[in-house]
């Protein structure tokens, strides 16, 4: 019987820990007697035939590296049926029967399309946003949060020295998890996230005034990217309260850096699980974390799930950051 071959790619926004997941896929596959190909630049690599057979040593020394050694891309072309069929043909030509797709929701849609075109795919959640409904954790989230935490701590030093209000925008267009966790960990006076409707007077100004009354003179406001407008908010706070205010957009600093222990371990568990599924010729599944355990579920079911924001944690933050 021909040696089984699988492939691994990273797609969408990069996330710290993607390398650890690639390493786990390559080594688990080789351990099971499979050939493992690395696909460069997301789904584009299947269209442009940019693949390479990996060895145990191809993934040496990458577990601690940020970014992705396979590079990543957002491939508009792959959204077309014709491209998906071409990618599936290419996989068949190379004897590749399964692909591990490390990325976010968008990449999982690509994985489903490629499975429908005849190549078993398994999705592994890799995104700093933690915005994948079916999984309580996505690879990259812990590193991004800890980077944001360190940055906000630094900003607090200068805000405190000047008796200022610092407004910090963290990443997350549709998901406020980085903002919530960073906000609670830095004692932010206010946290604005896309999931919770806010009123500037009630949720920012009144909270600053109440805190001022107890003697506090510097304030941190953490705002998710999806809420944005941090420069406008700084101007409003200056005019409305006469407190000097500065806005900082942390941006892509949150996407880089060496992955934390948690990201390396979860990525390793998820990559291993993905290969286990492909070794049994199972496709169209997403690997996820539930109650701390690594599970798998159908991609369509996963994509249909609605993300639940942790309102309890938000309530705790609002109660104790006063």
Q: Any idea which residues carry the catalytic annotation?
A: 129
**Residue 238 beta carbon to ligand F6P: minimum distance, rounded to whole angstroms:** 27
β-pair partners for 35: 5
The SS3 of residue 23 is: helix
- Smallest Cα–Cα separation from 124: which of 109, 138, 110? 138
Residues 6+ apart with CB under 8 A from 250: 147, 148, 151, 168, 169, 170, 171
Only one residue has tokens 């075109």, namely 117
- 129 burial class (0-12, 13-18, 19+ CB within 10 angstroms)? buried
Among 32, 35, 79, 307, binds ligand ADP (CB under 6 A): 79
- Per CB under 6 A, residues contacting ligand F6P are 13, 104, 127-129, 171-173, 225, 255
Angle 287-299-37 from CA coordinates, rounded to 5°:
60
- The dihedral sign for the CA sequence 173, 174, 175, 180: positive
Site for ligand ADP contains 110 (CB under 6 A): yes
**Residue 144 beta carbon to ligand F6P: minimum distance, rounded to whole angstroms:** 8
Among 58, 62, 71, 74, binds ligand ADP (CB under 6 A): 74
Which span (1-9, 70-78, 198-206, 296-304) binds ligand ADP, by CB under 6 A? 70-78
In the list ligand ADP, ligand F6P, none, the entry touching 138 (Cβ below 5 to 8 angstroms by class) is none
Which span (99-107, 145-153, 167-175, 307-315) binds ligand ADP, by CB under 6 A? 99-107
Spell out, one character per residue from 38 to 57, where the chain touches ligand ADP: x when CB under 6 A holds, - when not: ----xx--------------
- Residues that bind ligand ADP in the complex, under the rule CB under 6 A: 11-13, 42-43, 74-75, 78-79, 103-107, 109-110, 113, 127
């Amino acid at each position: 019987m021909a040696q089984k071959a699988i492939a691994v790619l990273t797609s969408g926004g990069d996330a710290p820990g993607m390398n650890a997941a690639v390493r786990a896929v390559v080594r688990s596959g080789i351990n099971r007697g499979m050939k493992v190909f690395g696909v460069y630049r997301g789904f584009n690599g299947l269209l442009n035939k940019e693949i390479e057979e990996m060895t145990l040593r191809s993934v040496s020394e990458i577990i601690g590296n940020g970014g992705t050694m396979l590079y990543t891309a957002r491939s508009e072309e792959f959204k077309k049926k014709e491209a998906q069929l071409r990618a599936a043909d290419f996989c068949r030509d190379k004897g590749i029967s399964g692909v591990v797709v490390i990325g976010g929701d968008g990449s999982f849609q690509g994985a489903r399309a490629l499975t429908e075109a005849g190549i078993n795919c398994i999705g592994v959640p890799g995104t700093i946003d933690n915005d994948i409904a079916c999984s309580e954790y996505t690879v990259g989230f812990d590193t991004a949060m800890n980077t944001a935490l360190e940055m906000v701590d630094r900003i607090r030093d200068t805000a405190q020295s000047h008796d200022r209000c610092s407004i910090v925008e963290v990443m997350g267009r549709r998901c406020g998890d980085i903002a919530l966790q960073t906000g609670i960990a830095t004692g932010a006076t206010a946290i604005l996230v896309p999931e919770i409707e806010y009123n500037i007077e009630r949720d920012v100004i009144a909270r600053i005034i109440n805190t001022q009354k107890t003697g506090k003179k510097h304030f941190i406001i953490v705002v998710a990217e999806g809420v944005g407008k941090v420069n406008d908010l700084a101007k409003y706070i200056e005019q409305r309260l006469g407190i000097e205010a500065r806005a900082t957009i942390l941006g892509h600093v949150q996407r880089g850096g060496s992955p934390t222990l948690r990201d390396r371990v979860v990525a390793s568990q998820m990559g291993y699980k993905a290969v286990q599924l492909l070794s049994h010729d199972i496709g169209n599944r997403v690997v996820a974390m539930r109650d701390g355990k690594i599970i798998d579920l159908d991609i369509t079911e996963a994509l249909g799930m609605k993300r639940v924001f942790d309102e309890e944690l938000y309530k705790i933050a609002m109660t104790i950051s006063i």
